[in-house]
């Protein structure tokens, strides 16, 4: 695509958590197809600032698809319609001149709107902290081959660890479930021998915390897998379910 494009944006504006929100129409003019979606919003915000209007609030940090900070529902899809892409990696070449684009925040009771497109995703941090870390004695690093790990297990654990905690899985799920996030965090340690000693405590604590944070139940709809920018498989949900059942049965036997 060459040249520039003009777009109509319908953006969710909400002053605060307790305020009513609404969609507001803005014109995005002379947008380069090489811009990222966030750069397009920067241009719109620059124009709003020059006119003395309040700029659109949105989350961002690294703008390299690593940090998990960015996130919005674009035309009904978390991070937009491009597969395996965060919002900061979504480029305007995937849109056409004259398009109308709807931009909304993540929708979940566990993610209250802070302002406009910014939501409070600290519930995911609290779930992660509930799982804790691997307890090991500090000191000299162990020899690398002391605990051999099969390559396929290492690869699967790394696939789970790719989760950036952006919350797209929650935004995409009809029940606003955080199961893909939680189960990826469970899997990345449960698969490895170093994570096995505390696997039962970890999965029980994280599932319990997820329920406390008012996320919905998993309905196996697979929207989470389809919208995850890191393409994390729902096979991790199946693994974590097995870990949870084993942990519950084990706790009853004691």
Q: Any idea what the CATH number is for the domain that residue 100 is in?
A: 3.10.20.30
Tally of domains within the chain: 2
Q: What are phi and psi of 2, to 5 degrees?
A: -120, 165
State whether 47 and 30 are in the same domain: yes
Domain CATH code at residue 212 = 1.10.1060
Given CA atoms 101, 104, 107, 111 in this order, what sign does their dihedral have? positive
Question: Domain of 83?
Answer: 5-114
State whether 71 and 164 are in the same domain: no
Looking at 114, 137, 163, which one is the last position of a domain? 114
* Alpha-carbon gap, residue 11 to 74, rounded angstroms: 10
pLDDT value at residue 245: 95
Alpha helical stretches, state H, 14-162:
37-50, 122-131, 151-161
State whether 95 and 185 are in the same domain: no
State whether 187 and 167 are in the same domain: yes
* Alpha-carbon gap, residue 192 to 71, rounded angstroms: 31
- Mean pLDDT value of segment 29-52: 98
Task: Give 104-153 pLDDT, tens digit per residue.
Answer: 999 999 999 999 999 999 999 999 999 987 776 666 766 767 788 999 99
* Alpha-carbon gap, residue 247 to 242, rounded angstroms: 9
Q: Is 181 helix (H, G, I), strand (E, B) or coil?
A: helix
State whether 110 and 162 are in the same domain: no
- Mean pLDDT value of segment 18-38: 97
State whether 181 and 242 are in the same domain: yes
State whether 30 and 66 are in the same domain: yes
Contact 126, 214 (CB under 8 A): no
State whether 141 and 245 are in the same domain: yes
State whether 170 and 190 are in the same domain: yes
State whether 169 and 244 are in the same domain: yes
The fraction of the chain above a pLDDT of 70, given in percent, is 96
State whether 173 and 97 are in the same domain: no
The residue among 1 and 41 whose pLDDT is bigger is 41
- pLDDT of 176 > 60? The answer is yes
* Alpha-carbon gap, residue 50 to 48, rounded angstroms: 5
| CA angle, 211 then 216 then 222, to 5° | 125
pLDDT value at residue 133: 76
State whether 74 and 15 are in the same domain: yes
* Alpha-carbon gap, residue 103 to 23, rounded angstroms: 9
Looking at 82, 114, 146, which one is the last position of a domain? 114
What separation in angstroms does the CA of 24 have from each of 104, 111, 128? 11, 21, 35
Task: Give 177-235 pLDDT, tens digit per residue.
Answer: 999 999 999 999 999 998 998 999 999 999 999 999 999 999 999 999 999 999 999 99
Looking at 75, 92, 114, which one is the last position of a domain? 114
* Alpha-carbon gap, residue 211 to 194, rounded angstroms: 27
* Alpha-carbon gap, residue 67 to 86, rounded angstroms: 10
Alpha helical stretches, state H, 51-196:
122-131, 151-161, 168-172, 179-190
Task: Give 180-191 pLDDT, tens digit per residue.
Answer: 999 999 999 999
* Alpha-carbon gap, residue 169 to 163, rounded angstroms: 10
* Alpha-carbon gap, residue 196 to 173, rounded angstroms: 30
């Amino acid at each position: 695509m060459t040249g520039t494009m003009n777009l109509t944006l319908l953006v969710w504006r909400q002053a605060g958590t307790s305020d009513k929100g609404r969609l507001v129409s803005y014109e995005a003019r002379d947008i380069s197809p090489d811009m990222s979606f966030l750069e397009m919003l920067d241009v719109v915000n620059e124009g709003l600032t020059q006119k003395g209007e309040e700029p659109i609030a949105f989350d961002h940090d690294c703008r390299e698809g690593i940090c998990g900070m960015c996130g919005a529902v674009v035309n009904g899809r978390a991070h937009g319609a491009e597969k395996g892409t965060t919002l900061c990696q979504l480029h305007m070449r995937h849109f056409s001149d004259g398009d109308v684009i709807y931009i909304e925040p993540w929708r979940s009771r566990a993610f209250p709107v802070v302002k406009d497109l910014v939501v409070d995703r600290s519930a995911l941090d609290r779930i992660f902290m509930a799982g804790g870390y691997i307890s090991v004695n500090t000191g000299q690093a162990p020899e690398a081959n002391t605990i051999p790990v099969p390559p396929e297990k290492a690869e699967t654990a790394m696939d789970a660890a790719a989760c950036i905690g952006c919350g797209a899985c929650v935004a995409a799920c009809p029940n606003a479930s955080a199961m893909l996030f939680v189960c990826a965090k469970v899997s990345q340690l449960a698969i490895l021998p170093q994570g096995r000693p505390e696997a039962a405590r970890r999965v029980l604590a994280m599932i319990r915390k997820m329920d406390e944070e008012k996320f919905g139940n998993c309905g196996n709809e697979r929207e989470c897998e389809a919208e995850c920018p890191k393409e994390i498989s729902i096979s991790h949900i199946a693994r974590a379910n097995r870990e949870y059942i084993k942990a519950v049965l084990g706790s009853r036997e004691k």
